[in-house]
Structure formats: structure tokens, C-alpha cells
């Protein structure tokens, strides 16, 4: 039996954090020793995007941790501990964290990513007005830009369709202007529509 099938059976086709039954996928907990049923679990898209800091933390959604913290699955325990730490400004999360116990080995695993030190802050790609940008969005340039290494000048007001976010830099996006793929600073764009 494949690992995903085992995990789907164990989770009863639900997210093992919030019990949602939609958009499930196998999640391997970072720094797990093995890619097995202890280091992996089924997760929904909403939980994953917030764990991976691709979306602002929704503390109401994470009230599910009150139940998830009692899971017998080591990977779920580790992720629950990490998320409770990121939400520790919330009194309910701090209270649950005080009640939660991880043995030394699991605690070391939970601390391995350093997520517990970062708090709830999430760095997202945002335009000049603070609106969140997503892959595939269309943006308008708010300033004329000279493109380095080219004679191209991207004029203010130019619409750039189907942008791509630069994964490791929230201040940059990629898009095509006059058929040329360029990197654009997010502070010089406004989300269209």
C-alpha cells in the first residue's frame, strides 16, 4: 500500500490538522528523519499555505490546534507545536502550548526549522498599495522603469499580465514587457482589478 493511501485511511480522508475534507495532499514535515507515516500526514490547502507562509495566519482557522495537539502522529504534534508558537500572542495558543508535551527528540525536531522564533509575521508579495500579489495577477507600472542590460524602457501605465512571484524575494516579481521577461520591484506596481 502506498504511503498516501495509508495516510488517507488513517486520516479518514481529512486534513489531520483541521479535519477539512477538501484539497488534501501528502505533507512531509520538514526535518523528519524518515519519509514515513510518522513524518508525514495529510493536509489541506489552507493549512499548508499558512504553514508555508504563503498566506496571512488566520487565528480562527488555527483554533483546530486545540484538538490537533492531542494527535498521536509525531509529525502532526511537531507541526502543531510550531504553529502554536507562531500564534503565541493569542492567549488560547499560549495556554495550549503550556499544556502540550513533546519528548526531547520531538522537541528538537520541532525546533529544527526555527519557525517557533519567527512569530506570526508573514512576508508576502505586496504592491505599492499593500495589496497581496499572486502568481498570474495583472499589474500596472506606477513608474517608468529602465531595464538593466537592455534599451527597453517600461513606461508608467504599462499593464503586465500573468506575473510570476520571485520565490526567495518578496520585493520582486517577473513579467513580460514588450515580449521580454524582466524583474520588476513590487513597490513600482499596482494590482489591476
pLDDT of residue 153: 85
Question: Cα(45)–Cα(103) distance, rounded to whole angstroms?
Answer: 29
- What's the confidence (pLDDT) of residue 8? 95
Residues 25 and 1 sit within 8 Å (Cβ to Cβ): no
pLDDT tens sequence across 14-57:
999 999 999 999 999 999 988 999 999 999 999 999 998 888 88
Is pTM beyond 0.75 here? no
Predicted pLDDT of residue 46? 95
Q: Which residues pair with 165 in a beta bridge?
A: 173
**Contact (CB, 8 A) for 16 and 4:** no
* Contact criterion met (CB below 8 Å) for 62 and 93: yes
CATH architecture, domain defined by 139-191: Roll (2.30)
Per-residue model confidence as pLDDT tens digits over 101-152: 999 999 999 999 887 666 555 678 888 888 888 899 999 999 988 888 778 8
- Count Cβ atoms within 10 A of the Cβ of residue 135 and give its class: 0-12 exposed, 13-18 middle, 19 or more buried: exposed
Query: Mean pLDDT throughout 175-183?
Result: 89
pLDDT at 85: 93
Pairing relation of β-strands 172-177 and 164-165? antiparallel
**Which three-class secondary structure state does DSSP give residue 33?**
coil
Res 116: pLDDT: 67
Q: CA 87 to CA 62: how far, in whole Å?
A: 9
Query: Comparing 81-90, 103-112, 113-122, 166-175, which segment has the lowest mean pLDDT?
Result: 113-122
What mean pLDDT, rounded, does the chain reach? 90
The domain ranges of the chain are: 3-117, 139-191
- Partnered with residue 153 across adjacent β-strands are 146
pLDDT value of residue 120: 56
The pLDDT value given to residue 5: 94
Q: Are the C-beta atoms of 97 and 82 separated by less than 8 Å?
A: no
Among the ranges given (56-60, 120-124, 165-169), the one the predictor scored with the smallest mean pLDDT: 120-124
DSSP bridge partners of 146: 153
Q: Which three cell numbers stand for residue 21?
A: 475534507
Q: Using alpha carbons, list the distances in angstroms from residue 139 to 2, 10, 66, 143, 155.
A: 43, 44, 40, 12, 13
Q: What is the DSSP letter of 167?
A: T
Of how many residues is the chain composed?
Answer: 193
Q: What is the pLDDT of residue 53?
A: 83
Amino acid at each position: 500500500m502506498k504511503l498516501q493511501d495509508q495516510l488517507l485511511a488513517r486520516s479518514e480522508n481529512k486534513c489531520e490538522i483541521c479535519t477539512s475534507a477538501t484539497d488534501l495532499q501528502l505533507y512531509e514535515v520538514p526535518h523528519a528523519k524518515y519519509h514515513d507515516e510518522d513524518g508525514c500526514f495529510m493536509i489541506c490547502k489552507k493549512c499548508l499555505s499558512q504553514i508555508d507562509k504563503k498566506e496571512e495566519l488566520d487565528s480562527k482557522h488555527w483554533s483546530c490546534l486545540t484538538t490537533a495537539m492531542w494527535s498521536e502522529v509525531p509529525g502532526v504534534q511537531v507541526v502543531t507545536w510550531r504553529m502554536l508558537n507562531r500564534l503565541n500572542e493569542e492567549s488560547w495558543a499560549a495556554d495550549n502550548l503550556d499544556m502540550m508535551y513533546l519528548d526531547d527528540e520531538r522537541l528538537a525536531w520541532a525546533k529544527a526549522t526555527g519557525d517557533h522564533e519567527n512569530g506570526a509575521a508573514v512576508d508576502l508579495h505586496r504592491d505599492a498599495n499593500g495589496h497581496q500579489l499572486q502568481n498570474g495577477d495583472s499589474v500596472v507600472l506606477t513608474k517608468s522603469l529602465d531595464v538593466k542590460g537592455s534599451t527597453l524602457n517600461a513606461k508608467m501605465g504599462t499593464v503586465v499580465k500573468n506575473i510570476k512571484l520571485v520565490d526567495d524575494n518578496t520585493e520582486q516579481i517577473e513579467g513580460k514587457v514588450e515580449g521580454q521577461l524582466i524583474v520588476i520591484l513590487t513597490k513600482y506596481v499596482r494590482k489591476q482589478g
